[in-house]
Amino acid sequence: MTDLEKVNKEIGRYEHALLAFSAREKPDGSLELVIQLKQMLPGVHIYYAPLHPRDVAHTQFPWTFQKYLYDCLHDYMVELFLYTPQSLDAPHESGR
């Protein structure tokens, strides 16, 4: 089984109501985890996260993958904010 097949097998154990997961091999042979909305919205990017071969080969891959996936989900959800209090171009509060 190739690393890509192993990752795709593990991804197949997860289903999310809003997000789709996949993996792809880049031209240099490295792997990426891909996270995107099932129903894409204008301006919403696709999240790419590198997968290291030693992590895929590790005997604890299912557990480390789950933690990595959840960490990536957290990062992706935070990146989807349009504005935060720290945004320099955030609209000013009005009428509050």
Tens digits of per-residue pLDDT, 40-95?
999 899 999 999 999 999 999 999 999 999 999 999 999 998 888 888 776 766 54
**What is the tally of structural domains in the chain?**
1
Count of helix runs (H) and strand runs (E) in the chain: 3, 3
Q: Given a cut of 90, is residue 35 above it in pLDDT?
A: yes
Q: Compute the distance between CA of residue 35 and CA of residue 8 in angstroms, rounded to an integer.
A: 13
**pLDDT score of 82:** 85
Domain membership of residue 92 (yes or no) is no
Rounded to an integer, the average pLDDT of 12-25 is 97
**pLDDT score of 90:** 64
**pLDDT score of 37:** 96
Q: Which domain holds residue 72?
A: 3-79
What is the rounded average pLDDT for all residues in the chain? 92
Domain membership of residue 96 (yes or no) is no
| Tokens, residue 54 | 């030693």
Q: Compute the distance between CA of residue 86 and CA of residue 95 in angstroms, rounded to an integer.
A: 20
| Cα angle, residue 80 at apex, residues 75 and 85 outer, rounded to 5° | 95
**pLDDT score of 95:** 46
Selection from 2, 16, 28 nearest residue 66 by Cα: 16
Domain membership of residue 74 (yes or no) is yes
Q: Compute the distance between CA of residue 55 and CA of residue 17 in angstroms, rounded to an integer.
A: 27
| Tokens, residue 60 | 């604890």
